[in-house]
Chain A
Amino acid sequence: GNSVTQMEGPVTLSEEAFLTINCTYTATGYPSLFWYVQYPGEGLQLLLKATKADDKGSNKGFEATYRKETTSFHLEKGSVQVSDSAVYFCALSSSSASKIIFGSGTRLSIRP
């Protein structure tokens, strides 16, 4: 079946450091891929998405590229801020169903 695996947290970085959160997936067909972010006490919200191979999603300085050959969708940001502290979820939507499957989430903490 379809699944998403992302790196375990928590991840702690200093402000202005480079961020990578790894995500790999298993799916049949051609899924769409997403990164969602959850700030403390809130629901998830979409951060970025990519709908086909080699697409790059970007938002708020975050980027992720849909790599079909490595079945990956790693999240990156060149210079993190304290306000980026949150839980990040990688997710996929299969081509044969309407539901979205989430990874386990990675908690990110940024030190001033």
Chain B
Amino acid sequence: DAGVIQSPRHEVTEMGQEVTLRCKPISGHDYLFWYRQTMMRGLELLIYFNNNVPIDDSGMPEDRFSAKMPNASFSTLKIQPSEPRDSAVYFCASRLPDRGRFGELFFGEGSRLTVL
């Protein structure tokens, strides 16, 4: 079975440009999470969805960040306009349904973003 698939794996862009990160969760998983990893702040939860509906976006740093999940097999995280401090590795993770607090998260390999 394919795992969580993220694209692009690496993105280098200039300040002010729009960045779109993509995620395909594991089929049948109904939770999807976006995390950001930096040396300074570690692993931060940005937003998560259940059945394509955003449940908690309190970790989204500011209005420049937005996330959508138009269907069960696809999600995007968009940054517009991007800034150098957005440079990080962005992870997508998904989880099986009906596992409540016991569920294991399955992570993608991450998208490494560098904003110059």
Q: Which residues of A contact B (CB under 8 A)?
A: 31-32, 34, 36, 41-46, 49, 51, 89, 93-95, 97-105
- Given A34-B104, A97-B101, 9 further pairs, Cβ under 8 A: A32-B101, A44-B107, A46-B104, A46-B105, A49-B102, A98-B31, A98-B55, A100-B33, A104-B42
Can you report 11 residue pairs joining A to B where beta carbons are below 8 Å apart? A36-B105, A43-B109, A44-B43, A44-B93, A45-B106, A51-B102, A97-B101, A98-B55, A98-B95, A98-B101, A104-B42
Known A-B contacts A49-B104, A93-B101, A99-B56; the reply to A43 vs B42 at CB < 8 A is no
The interface size of chain B toward A, counting residues with CB under 8 Å, comes to 25
Give every chain A residue within 8 A of B7 (Cβ-Cβ).
none
Nearest CB of A to B82, in Å: 22
Q: Is B100 an interface residue (CB 8 A)?
A: yes
* Residues of chain A contacted by B60 (CB below 8 angstroms): none
Residue B108 lies at the interface, judged by CB distance under 8 Å to chain A: yes
Query: By the criterion CB–CB under 8 Å, are B91 and A43 in contact?
Result: yes
Tell me what chain B mostly uses at the interface: helix, strand, loop, or mixed: strand
Pick the contact of A43 from B4, B31, B104 — CB < 8 Å?
B4
A45 touches which of B31, B45, B95, B107 (Cβ 8 Å): B107
Q: Which B residues touch A41, using CB under 8 A?
A: 109
| Inter-chain contact B48/A42, CB cutoff 8 Å | no
Cα-based distance from A104 to B35 in the complex (angstroms): 13
Q: Would A43 and B101 be within 8 Å (CB), given that A98-B48, A101-B45, A102-B42 are in contact?
A: no
Q: Is the CB of B105 within 8 A of A32?
A: no
Instruction: Determine whether B110 belongs to the interface, using a CB cutoff of 8 Å to chain A.
Output: yes
Query: Chain A residues near B50 (CB, 8 Å)?
Result: 98
Q: What is the minimal beta-carbon distance from A33 to any residue of chain B, in angstroms?
A: 10
